[in-house]
Each structure stands twice: as structure tokens, then as C-alpha cells.
Structure 1
């Protein structure tokens, strides 16, 4: 039985679509060599570094509450988006200026940019100990967030509560990469001391856990680039494969009923 040119064209169209959608698992799977990498892994830790424009919440406490009162900002009522005052009170924050300084009660100007949170706590404990016995300092970065954009399920900015987040965790918060994301070239953009820098991470290899971009810093931007298939797809109507499939079915039906 001879195959008509139209029928042959329809089958070739279907096969070409199926072949174009195939991808190697080496381009998709994460952490492919994790066993070898973890054998050589060393113990690591991460602490956030205070940067200009950070909002710091600093609370000084002690057994003598009256003695630490001058070192704490007043507590103010919080307001919602509509401007209404909520019953919950909130602590005021210190904005780190462009020179990396904050103005702190009694102590005056403090240069805090470039310091880790524990370093600033120890420094302030030493300074305040001149006025208060056994002060306890609690510091938090209130505007710690990372932004994930590109080929992820839920792009957006995400606030981080514990000041420590890894790149895989950030991608997980954004719903993970789509199948169209370029896993071998995830771009991370960050700013340190007013200087912008960037780097790419290959998530298919577990060796990226040693990258300086494994732990994200506040205000980092993660961009998942589209892969070649997605870039090519943007040049034509995404409904074309559907139209081709429908056309092939119609052609087959026409051939069936016209024999």
C-alpha cells in the first residue's frame, strides 16, 4: 500500500515535534556528581554582612531595664496599607546610610557596614558596658530579601527571616525552575560596598556548593535564563505545534474517508 505525500508530511511533522521536545537528563537533573563532591566537602558557615541601606533592628536589654532605656528607640504603633493604626506595636529601625553609618542613642555615629551581625553585637556590648552592667544586644536585618526572576514558576521578591538562604532554597521558594530554565548558567547579581558584581552557577554539578554564590546575600537577584528551545520558541507562535497536530489528524481523516 502506497503512502500519500500528504500523509507522509503529517507523520514527519509529528516526529519532528517529538524529537525537538526531547532533552538530555544531563541538562535537567541537579547535583549529578553530589557523591564525589561531598566526599571532599569541608565544614562551612555563613553570616550576613551588613551593607548600606540595610534596616537594622537593635534592641538593648539587661537586668536593669531602666539603665538600658536610653539605648532603645521608642516603640511606635504599626500601620497597615490603609493608614489605620494596628494594636500591635513595632520597634523602630536604624537605616544604614550610604557611608555605612547609623546614629545610635548615646553612642553616636557607628560605622557598621562590612560587619557581620555577631561582630557588631560584640562591639556594641563593649561600648555599652561602660554604662550598663552585662548588656544583651539583639540585632536583626529587617529588609533581608532576595529576588528570583526568569524561568521559574513564581518569580518575585522574597523576604528572608533568618538571614541565611542558599540558592537552591531561593529557587524552591519561587516554585523551582521550569523545564525551559538554563540550569548550567543561573545568573546571580549582587552589590557589595556599592560595587555590582555577578556570577553564574551550574546547578547540574554539585560542585557549585563551593561557589561564593551558593549562599545568597541580602538584595541578591537570581536570574534563570531561558534555554535554547525557549529562545527559539519565542520567535514563533506557541500554538503552531497544536495547529500541526490538529492538521495531521484532519489530513489522516481525509485520507481515510477518500480512499
Structure 2
């Protein structure tokens, strides 16, 4: 009887470990074994600006003094894109411009400018064209200040991820939260996206190179990435991990009993 109990326990543990070992935890595991692989980058569409987006809009021109009017009290010297600004007034550029419910931002001098529904590049062109009346050869930079995605489930540190621009992939987002755990189902990663009042849900297989072709591979503002846990963890592996000390002691006792016989 004791032998049967020990054998049953051993079979259960081996089956649980076997279920875990059978999971493919290698990203893009179907890539050919070649030194160099070249493919055309496919991006279905760039994210568009939406209400409640917070934008950083900076202006540079050949006349630094005139830039004060368009940078909320900051002078942006020519050739200093992305560098530190010289404070000249009471404004605070870091606060950004909030897109209202109708898709407009209010810019100094220009007033209300509709950027909703445009990509960042399209918004840059529109604002630059309107600035031509006031500045010589203006350069406009538009960035998101609150572009974020939500990563949940079987990952190292589930959290809200804020990224500096709109160019982030699902793999990059997973890396920002500590990657998937060994129990995450890499072949079934769910991406949830809401656009124009429509909720879209897509399942991505990160074991396959075909994931690059998915319009959900590049994430949009407020996308939710959910990594489903492996069934082995839910059914048995989780129990073993929670009671590992007890299981080891039980196995040791079982082998001692077997030796006694």
C-alpha cells in the first residue's frame, strides 16, 4: 500500500514537471538557422492623436527670440533639438498640451489647432505650415508625454508602462516589465485595443516569426497586453511551488520507506 502511494505521488510530480518542460519558451523559435535574416518592416498604421493625449510641442527657428512666443517662455536655440532650453519666462513646457474632446490643442499665437486623428508626423507638418506666417524656416517637434500601455498576467512585474514615443512593440513592452515568467504562454499573448469606439482583441504567437506581420505587434496608446498562465501552473505546478518544502519532505520519506522494504 505504501509503495502504491509513493509511486502515485512520484508519477504526479513527474507529470507536472513534464507539462512544464513541454512548453516552448523560445521567442521566434521558427526562425531559420542562418547568420543573417533580412525582412521588410511592416507596420499597419501609426497611432493617431486622440482626446486626452498629452503632447510636447517644441518650436525651433532661425530667430531664437521669436521662439519664446511658441515655447511657453523658453528659447530653443537652433540645433538644440532634444537639449536643454534657456528659461526666459514663467511658462513650463514640460506640462505639455492636452488634446481636448474635439481633438484641439491651444498653442501660443496660433490658438486652437486640430491635431486629433493625425499621426505625430502629420501634426508636425500641420503646425509647421501654420508657423510659416510667423517664423523663418520653423522646425516643429511633437512627442507624446503620456503614451502608455498596460502589461498584465504572467510577467515579471505587471505594471503600466510609459514610453517616450509611439514606437514600441509587444516584445519591448514585455522586456520593460521583466519579461514573461517561465509559466507564460508565449504562443497566446492577448492584446486588447480600443479605437473609435470599437474594442479589438488579437492573440499573438511570440514563438512564430509571423508575429511581425500582425498589426498588433506595434502597440498603440492604452493597449492592454495580457500574458495567460500555463494550465500546468493553474492545475498543479502552482500547488507544488506553494508547497515545495512539504513535497520534498514527502518524497524523501517515501524513498526511505521504499528502502525499508
TM-score bin, normalised by smaller chain: 0.7 to 0.9
Unaligned runs of 5+ in 1: 76-88
C-alpha change, 1:189 and 1:205, in structure 2 (3 Å) is same
What TM-score, normalized by structure 1, do the two folds share?
0.81
CA positional deviation for 1:215: 0.7
**Distance (Å, rounded) in 1 between the aligned partners of 2:63 and 2:28:** 52
Task: Please give the root-mean-square deviation of Cα atoms over the aligned residues, in Å.
Answer: 2.7
Does the CA contact (< 8 Å) of 2:42 and 2:212 recur in 1? no
Correspondence 1:28 to 2:25? yes
Does the CA contact (< 8 Å) of 2:183 and 2:229 recur in 1? yes
Question: Which of 119, 122, 131 is equivalent to 1:119?
Answer: 122
Unaligned runs of 5+ in 2: 75-91
**How many aligned positions are there?**
240
Does the CA contact (< 8 Å) of 2:16 and 2:237 recur in 1? no
Note the 1:183-222 alignment, pairs <5 A: 183-222=186-225
Note the 1:17-56 alignment, pairs <5 A: 17-23=13-19, 25=22, 27-35=24-32, 41-44=39-42, 47-56=46-55
Does the CA contact (< 8 Å) of 2:188 and 2:204 recur in 1? yes
Report what 2:64 is aligned to: 65
**Distance (Å, rounded) in 2 between the aligned partners of 1:255 and 1:26:** 33
Question: Which of 156, 164, 173 is equivalent to 1:170?
Answer: 173
**Distance (Å, rounded) in 2 between the aligned partners of 1:162 and 1:188:** 19
Does the CA contact (< 8 Å) of 1:186 and 1:223 recur in 2? yes
What TM-score, normalized by structure 2, do the two folds share?
0.80
Q: Which has the higher strand share?
A: 1
**Distance (Å, rounded) in 2 between the aligned partners of 1:19 and 1:161:** 45
